[in-house]
Amino acid sequence: MFGGAALGIGVLRIKHSCYYQSQRFDTIQSEGKKLMLKRMRACGVVAIAACLCACLLAFAGCSAPAGTGSSDGAQDAAATKTVVDAYGRSVEVPTDVQSAATVGSGARFVVYAGGQNKLIAATEMETEPALNRPYTIAYKDLFANLPATSNGNHLLETNVNEEQLMELAPDVIISSRSAEECDSLQADTGIPVIGITYQNQLFTDNVYTSITCVGEALGTQDHAQEVVSKLKEWDADLKARTADIPDADKPSVYVGAVNYKGAKSFTGTYANYAPLVELGAKNVADETGQKAAIDVDLEQIGNWDPDFMFLNAGNMDLMKTDYANNKAFFDDLKAFKEGHLYTQPFFNFNGTNIDMGICDTYFIGATIYPDKFADVDLDAKYSEIYTTLLGVDFYQTMKNAGMGFTTLSFS
């Protein structure tokens, strides 16, 4: 009996050892494959360069005058350029980039820079288009045919299939992840990585630099510069309209139903809200001392009793439930009594939709300062903004989907 048990234990030990060795072999094989891909990429570049040099030298021998030689052609073929990204990293990229992949929300800025046709890979976020990310709707057919090499998270935990990226071998990767992650991805894959940064920003140097460096990397710098010029034009226009308004004449504003770690009803708000910062408006949430999305309570909203409320209509079901359960409270708020309730398509979703954020800014400005924006054709302005940044008039798509800039009612 004991001999049979010993034999069984021995078999189990052999199986365990074999399983361990198999797992170890799989790990080594995977790492070896990644190393092989990096070596093949490097060797391929060297081999191609060597062949080009040989051909060009032979051509020079046939066509150049005796006693002279030229390596200009070979130098041009192997040339790179230095692009300084939004983190201040100096990145060497091919002079003539033909293909690109993205990590995080990098594809949004590839579209802004006019380089979407050079994409050979995107992320799961792009292959699942949604209205809260206008660029994915504008180019849904393009993204539907691209492989996804990561989950596409802009700030939350991400995953990147480095082996797949190395097999696709894009000339450059555009990433919205941190500078450290950009360095790591570049070191692991041997592919240059251009980093961008722009969370909750509209008219900032980060936004301008991010669009510009992507354009420089992809060879679409003229288009990128035109976009940046328009951004600066809108920035100057908005500031000029609101710069001389005394604080005493500024109404109080509350932005609500802002998603923060999930969908929120009235109590989800945003301090340091970019459109209100741009307009120099009085955001009651700034009194909290916070700088981003926060969750307050109904009592706090009642204490603030804002003049105007701009609400994310995407969470209308949640707000209707809250209103039904607290009807007397809401009906007593100034904004409800005076009919100052408006939609606010939320512009931060897996990064900042610069286009939608600027449209929100013009809508808020025209609503709380009507005299200052009396000459603005808002529909035409929304179309101009979307067409400039996306290349298509997404505003028409919004209207067709019943998603727009308008009043709200809970009665």
Residues 315-365 pLDDT 10s: 999 999 999 999 999 999 999 999 999 999 889 888 899 999 999 999 999
Question: How many residues make up the chain in this entry?
Answer: 411
**Average pLDDT score, the chain:** 84
Q: How would you classify the pairing of strands 193-195 and 172-175? A: parallel
Neighbouring residues of 276: CB distance < 8 A, sequence distance ≥ 6: 253, 255, 282, 283, 364
Integer Cα distance of 323 and 313 in angstroms: 14
- Give the Cα separation of 285 and 273 in Å (integer): 9
The conformation of residue 295, written as its DSSP 8-state character, comes to E
Which structure tokens are listed for 279?
Answer: 């307009």
Direct distance between the N- and C-terminal alpha carbons of the chain, in angstroms, rounded to an integer: 82
Please provide the DSSP assignment of 308-367 as one string: EEEE-GGGHHHHHHHHHHTHHHHHTSHHHHTT-EEE----BSSSB-HHHHHHHHHHHHHH
Position 280: which residue type?
A: G
Global pTM value? 0.81
Tens digit of pLDDT at every position of the chain (411 positions): 333 333 333 333 333 333 333 333 343 344 444 444 444 444 443 343 443 334 333 333 333 333 333 344 444 545 999 999 999 999 999 999 999 999 999 999 999 999 999 999 999 999 989 999 999 999 999 999 999 999 878 767 778 999 999 999 999 999 999 999 999 999 999 999 999 999 889 999 999 999 999 999 999 999 999 999 999 999 999 999 999 999 999 999 999 999 877 789 999 999 999 999 999 999 999 999 999 999 999 999 999 999 999 999 989 999 999 999 999 999 999 999 999 999 998 898 888 999 999 999 999 999 999 999 999 999 999 999 999 999 999 999 999 998 889 999 998
Dist. CA 121–CA 328, nearest whole Å: 53
Q: How does pLDDT run across 137-185, given as a tens digit for each residue? A: 999 999 999 999 998 787 677 789 999 999 999 999 999 999 999 999 9
206 contacts 109 by C-beta, under 8 angstroms: no
Residues whose CB falls within 8 Å of the CB of residue 259, separated by 6 or more in sequence, listed in order:
268, 293, 312, 314, 315, 346, 349
Per-residue burial over 227-253, b = 16 or more CB atoms within 10 Å of its CB, e = otherwise: bbeebeebbeebeebbeebeeeebebb
